[in-house]
Amino acid sequence: MINQLIRNSVEKGATNIHIAPGAGPLIRVNGKVRLLEDEQTLSHDHIMTVLGELCTEAQLDALNQNGELYFGYSIPELGRFRVNVLKQRGSYSLSIRILKLVIPDKSELGLPKHLYELLEKGQGLFLVSGASGTGRSTTIASLIQHINATKRVHIMTIESPIEYLFKHDKAIVIQRDVGTDCADFYEGLSSAMLHDPDVIMISEINSEPMQDLALKLAEAGKLVIAGYSGINTISALGSFLFSEQAERKQIRKHKLASVLLGIISQQLVPSKNNDIRLLGYELLLMNNVVKSNIISDNLAEIQNTLIAGRRQGMVSMDASLYEMYSKGAITKDTLYRYCTDTEVVKRLEKSLI
């Protein structure tokens, strides 16, 4: 039942499937939710049948105990899927993320070349920021694949769940699935040092202890690439530095200023024809001004640095979106709906006239 439903969704170009009792399955295509046609309304019994097909007995026990479950699922020759199950109103609802089998080539993603040049430094912390569904995992996978194809190093990933499968190339890539190969992110990251990795990828840093450990690993000379939730660069920095303990925050500011390589913050916006979604991003690179602003907790000034640092390779979100607009890739409405500062965009428009 569930495999055929997933197959139908994949054929329609869906990125997500939403299943709840008392409703027909919904799919998300190009960012918009619509009903999956020709599928019946699902009852509680249907949902339990689906869970029986997707989950092992151990996973069902964990679901009953915790009220939620998060895991990876594969269908041979079709793909990999990220499944999230939540208990609600005495039954369960599911959200299934459809993952791509092939890591897109960096030229397909439209990421800046400076992003890959940062990896040549071989040590430090690089953050990939964005809300859920903005392509963070794909960007991180592209960075890891670039290293895998070009450097003879030892790479270790800690993911929840594993989304892209890497084949050993010049590098060796060890992938650990949280909940299966290690108990949690912190344990996986703590034990990583015992295996002597050169590069460590963390699909998401989600706690203060994780932040401190990531900084420690970067200080130890490792290249740490990590996903981080944040709608833009400033919010990501503010969240990363936040601590209720003033002394801990002060220490973290100095450490972050010392090891941070940069941050890419991204969002996906509809194309002019609304047939695909395009990547809008801002890229912050480290320099003395950025370091000083981090240490002095003057994060608001970093937005100006993003604009002024264009020659260095920095990109603001507004500049990224405006470039797409000027090339006719997105509409003016999309430009203003997703931009950070409408006044900046207006000035960019005037400069074109």
Question: What is the identity of the amino acid at 132?
Answer: S
Rounded Cα distance, 19 and 36, in Å: 10
Indicate the SS3 state at residue 6.
helix
326-352 as b/e, with b when 16 or more CB fall inside 10 Å? eeebbbeebbeebbbeeebbeebeeee
Taking only the tens place, the pLDDT of each residue in 178-218 is 888 998 999 999 998 889 999 999 999 989 999 999 999 99
Full-model pTM: 0.86
Question: What is the identity of the amino acid at 16?
Answer: N
Which residue in this structure is represented by tokens 């079709």? 78
Q: Tell me the helices (H) and strands (E) count for the chain, helix number first.
A: 15, 13
Give the percent of the chain with pLDDT over 70.
99
Rounded Cα distance, 141 and 94, in Å: 25
Indicate the SS3 state at residue 209.
helix
DSSP assignment string, 10-45: HHTT-SEEEE-TTB--EEEETTEEEE-TT-PPB-HH
Helices (H), 31-104: 44-54, 57-66
Taking only the tens place, the pLDDT of each residue in 4-62 is 999 999 999 899 999 999 999 999 998 889 999 878 899 999 999 999 999 999 999 99
Taking only the tens place, the pLDDT of each residue in 229-260 is 888 999 999 999 988 888 989 999 999 999 99
64: CB partners within 8 A, 6+ apart: none
Taking only the tens place, the pLDDT of each residue in 279-338 is 999 999 999 999 999 999 999 999 899 988 988 999 999 999 999 999 999 999 999 999
Rg from Cα positions in the chain: 21
Residue 352: predicted pLDDT: 59
Q: Are 238 and 299 in contact (CB under 8 A)?
A: yes
Phi (first) and psi of residue 56, to 5 degrees: -80, 170
Give the mean pLDDT of 98-127.
Answer: 87
- The answer for 319, left when phi > 0, alpha when psi is -120 to 50, beta otherwise, is alpha
Q: Are 260 and 214 in contact (CB under 8 A)?
A: no
Question: What is the identity of the amino acid at 23?
Answer: A
Confidence of residue 109 (pLDDT cuts 50, 70, 90): confident
Round to the nearest angstrom and report the end-to-end CA distance of the chain. 57
CA geometry: angle at 323 spanning 230 and 143, to 5°? 50
293: CB partners within 8 A, 6+ apart: 299, 301, 302, 305
Rounded Cα distance, 139 and 286, in Å: 19
Which residue in this structure is represented by tokens 């015992």? 194
Smallest Cα–Cα separation from 99: which of 48, 165, 38?
165
